[in-house]
Chain A
Amino acid sequence: MRRGQRRRQAQRACPALELVADDPDRDARVFEPVTAAVEGLTPGVEVVRAGVVAVPARGPSRYFGGEEAVAELLVDRVAEAGVECQVGVADGLFTATLAARRGLVVPPEGGPGFLAPLGIGELDQPAERLAGRAELVDLLRRLGLRTLGEFAELPAADVLNRFGTAGALAHRLAAGLEERAPSRRRPPPDLTVEEEFDPPVTRVDSAAFAAKAIGERLHAELARRGLACVRLGIRARTEGGTELERVWRCAEPLTAEGVRDRVRWQLDGWLRVAGDGGLDGGIAELVLDPREVIGADALQLDLLSGEAETSAGERAGRALVRVQGLLGPESVWRGVIGGGRGPGERVRLVPWGDPPTPERPAERPWPGAVPSPTPERFATGPVPVAVLDESGAEVGVDERDELTATPHSVVAGKGSPRRILGWAGPWTAAPLVRLQVVLEPNSEMGERALLLAGDGSAWWVEGIYE
């Protein structure tokens, strides 16, 4: 039997089949004790959806003696909660989920090989509520791509052009790559959303209502900042003061509905425990804490806001993420200005999508800094030069960081010397000294200015004013 099968066929395969209506809320309630059982064995449990939990494998497998040993322990522990389970181990969440359904341990780096022969339909996982994923799978099938491997072999750039961001995301999954977008980051601390309930929530229907309100608040808050959540912490306090916490992890950015569903499922799960007398009262306070967010550009924007109107910043962000898709996350940068004495030290380049924090504070004084303007271009490789005085002897630096003679010309390599029309410095930022020189014209471009750096024994071009 498999998902998506017709009822008649399923009943033919298994005559004793009992039919139950689809009810994610009930699933979530029933699943909470399983999550609790796994949590009893290892910390860091993250719920993917009712029926699937993820745990980091590295810590526990070292502690319990190997991944297989952990898998066995998990099966035993969950059996004590009254259900059977399957365990899979792999590099990423998507791959691990498929491995679990087959009870496999996929070795490190073995993800792509494991995924390649699997059917293309595996891309359409339930509970993600991804608009268009089923249509995408259907389209890929009609294009003759039957396995994940065949899809993964297409060049990423072509997939992006043909199927857009949603297609590129699916392509990364099929190739066994990290499922999340390159611009993953920790959210700013003030993004949590809180709600107090008076009277406390004790019934499932009031939980659903509470989940809708607080979920939409969080989602709107994230969307306002151009973010979407991929790991959601849900914390609750009961009337009696017990603190509950659960982390939901998602392979793909949560939509407004996705947030709401997970909050409701979690509340249902806790209330079931409460109904069994396991909790001291109803839920009095709820906190949503996005643990990990990504730029909303990774999600199709219309899923987020439903508005066609997008700001210049959003349009730019989407184009830049697209370039990251072409060249990799470490291809698009933005510069952040901080403190420092050399012109290179003052700029930190951060990959697009990462938080722009400077390396060194800009405010404090930096003695020895060369006054502005800064050269527009750094020399990207070493360009050694000699600074000569009028007699053609090399100009160096003495122990008091003064020049040993008056500079007259600069020569690079075997070239002819270029006369110095003006110079300024040196500025000392131990162990380096820096010198500005203006060279006579040798083309229609006119005068040329350079920033030279020296360490006492040699000079080289650090920056070019152009």
Chain B
Amino acid sequence: MSLARVSTFSGEEFAGRTLPVRPELREVLPWPGLRRGATVALRGSTSLLLAILASATAEGSWAAVVGLPGLSVLAAAEAGVAVERMALVPRPGTQLGEVVAALADGLDLVAFAGTTMIGAAQTRKLAARVRQRGTVLLPLGPWPSADVELRCANARWYGAGTGDGHLTHREVEVHATGRGAAARPRSVQLCLPG
């Protein structure tokens, strides 16, 4: 992979402006980490979300997850998320847009479900806000203006036999598509939890 292709920034200039991610994910992202101010849509995998939150919160970042009432904090902790720095807003109701905007002001990563409830105007405002604040926005669903979309496919589970053993991990393909530098689709194999 060539970094020179993806931007005109040098590695050092980028270092302070990205949040750490798993090395496998660096393969499919157009940045050497999660670029602050970027929007990365995640499709079809809560475990991928947790993997992303784990690398960032372990380094001191603060995260919020909005609109996922069933999210298991235990699974998050097992995946390596610093749960003391993860706030949950399970039921934002009709104020989803306002809640996400308020969180984008103060947290490093904001993930939210119910993406289709946010209108075009609010979407543009949010994008401007996260770029200005350096927040990483993680819509959990379709998000037309995302810089990158990561989609999980073809999960394979390991560990469970016929009544023996127990589930240990799954392998998924992560496909990335996106605008600009990230426009070329790529994919990578990822172990979750890993």
Q: Identify the A interface with B (CB < 8 A).
A: 157, 312-313, 315-320, 322-323, 326-327, 331-337, 343-344, 346-347, 349, 352, 356, 370-380, 403, 406, 421-425, 436-438, 441, 444-449, 463-466
Contact = CB atoms under 8 A, between A and B. Distances in A.
Nearest to A343: B74
8 contacts: A335-B88, A347-B73, A376-B76, A380-B70, A406-B162, A441-B154, A445-B153, A447-B156
Contacts of A425: 163, 166
B143 interface: no
Given A356-B84, A444-B154, A446-B154, A422 B72 contact: no
Contact of B73 (A327, A331, A337, A445): A337
A448 B68 CA distance: 19
B161 A465 contact: no
B187 interface: no
Contacts of B169: 373
Contacts of A403: 163
Contacts of B84: 334, 356
B76 A335 contact: yes
A424 B64 contact: no
Given A157-B98, A438-B160, A327 B87 contact: no
Nearest to A160: B102
A332 B87 contact: yes
Contacts of B157: 421-422, 438, 447, 449, 465
Interface stretch (B32-40, B44-52, B117-125): B44-52
Interface in B62-109: 62, 64, 68-79, 83-93, 95, 98-99, 102-108
Contact of B88 (A327, A333, A374): A333
Contacts of B153: 444-446
A423 B163 contact: yes
A316 B167 contact: no
Interface of B: 44-47, 50, 60-62, 64, 68-79, 83-93, 95, 98-99, 102-108, 152-157, 159-170, 172, 193
Contacts of B83: 334-337
A319 B44 contact: no
A317 B78 contact: no
B193 A316 contact: no
A425 B172 CA distance: 24
A319 B108 CA distance: 11
B74 A326 contact: no
A320 B163 contact: no
B103 A466 contact: no
Contacts of B87: 316, 320, 332-334, 352
B64 A347 contact: no
Contacts of A323: 89, 99, 102-103
A327 B74 contact: no
A348 to B, nearest CB: 9
A332 B89 contact: yes
A465 B47 contact: yes
B60 A312 contact: yes
The listed residue with most B CB atoms (<10 A of its CB), out of A315, A436, A446, A463, is A446
B62 A316 contact: yes
Contacts of B90: 333
A347 B72 CA distance: 8
Nearest to B106: A319
A228 to B, nearest CB: 18
In the A-B complex, the 5 residue pairs with the smallest Cβ-Cβ separation, listed nearest first, are A319-B106, A335-B73, A446-B155, A316-B62, A422-B160
A439 to B, nearest CB: 9
Contacts of B79: 373, 376
A465 B170 contact: yes
Contact of A449 (B75, B165, B170): B170
Nearest to B61: A312
Nearest to B49: A376
A158 to B, nearest CB: 11
A424 B73 contact: no
Given A327-B99, A333-B89, A447-B155, 18 more contacts: A315-B62, A316-B108, A317-B106, A319-B107, A337-B73, A337-B77, A373-B78, A373-B193, A374-B72, A374-B75, A374-B78, A376-B71, A377-B75, A378-B72, A421-B157, A446-B153, A446-B155, A465-B170
Contact of B62 (A313, A424, A438, A463): A313
Contact of B103 (A320, A376, A406, A421): A320
